[in-house]
Amino acid sequence: MEGVDKLTEIMDAKRREIAPFARPVTDAELAAFAGRRLPPGFRQSLDVPGRLTVIAEVKRASPSVGQIKAEVDAVAQARLYAEAGADCLSVLTETTYFQGRLADLVEVTHDQAKRPTPLPCIRKDFMVHPFQVLEAAQAGARCILIIVRGLTDDEIRPIHRAAKLAGLDTLFEVHDEAELERALRHDPDMVGVNNRNLSSFQIDLTFAERVIPQMPKHVLKVAESGIKTPADAARMRAAGAHALLVGESLMRAADPAELLQAFRRA
């Protein structure tokens, strides 16, 4: 339906989905994972002076474009990204709208753990409850996503706290200045700007060009969505981005390795 805010729809669906099994998690449950995290961390892997870093995303579908690569094997795609020089991985675990699954993350992190230089993974999902943070830690994630627009501050606090207890990094996602202001209340050290309008699905790279320069110096800045060419990557770099999160264009590329390297050189 025209004008429907897709993010609201997805967040409401996620709350219904996890309601039957979400439960309170204890500090001890979360803290048990903190000591198991070997370096480098997710944020640390993206903080490389002098060049753009790339979070390469395993993404089968999305509400905005439909099917992207439905039959892709998550482990094979993650290996391709790792061999192409990605700095971190993003694995979609949302099923209804993105055709991901938590098992994809488990399989990818298990496979990465066997590599000489494993890449840290973010669980890319719609976090609404600390129980999902525990799931992420159990699955081997090194980072979670908090979409500021989809949550109240009272919902963000326990999710962010749970991630800290579990030793996970947090990528706060914003779309505009008002959301950035809200994100900064939670003292983030990593913020991404989504260039996609989640009501219209239109891409506008000026979102990042406008918002990234307003972030504090200590925040690692990530540009997300709509980055299809090296020229797009160069625009994001010029705006002050330290890293890119790229899914669709890498999934569709005839030669993902060549495109990924072009992004890194931007």
Residue 165 sits in a domain whose CATH number is 3.20.20.70
Q: Is residue 26 packed enough to be buried (19+ CB in 10 Å), middle (13-18) or exposed (0-12)? A: exposed
Residue 35 lies in a domain: no
Residue 228 lies in a domain: yes
Active site residues per annotation: 57, 59, 124, 173, 194, 224-225
**101-143 residue pLDDT tens:** 999 999 999 999 999 889 999 999 999 999 999 999 999 999 9
- Give the pLDDT score at 2: 45
Residue 140 lies in a domain: yes
Residue 204 lies in a domain: yes
Cα 208 from Cα 224, distance rounded (Å): 8
Six token digits for residue 248: 């669709």
Residue 47 lies in a domain: yes
- Give the pLDDT score at 197: 79
Dihedral in degrees, nearest 10, Cα atoms 244, 160, 130, 139: 40
For the chain, residues with pLDDT lower than 70 are: 1-4, 37-39, 70, 199
Residue 32 lies in a domain: no
Give the number of domains in the chain.
1
Residue 25 lies in a domain: no
Residue 30 lies in a domain: no
- Give the pLDDT score at 40: 82
- Give the pLDDT score at 116: 87
The domain of 110 spans 6-20+40-265
- Give the pLDDT score at 6: 86
Six token digits for residue 149: 């627009």
- Give the pLDDT score at 192: 98
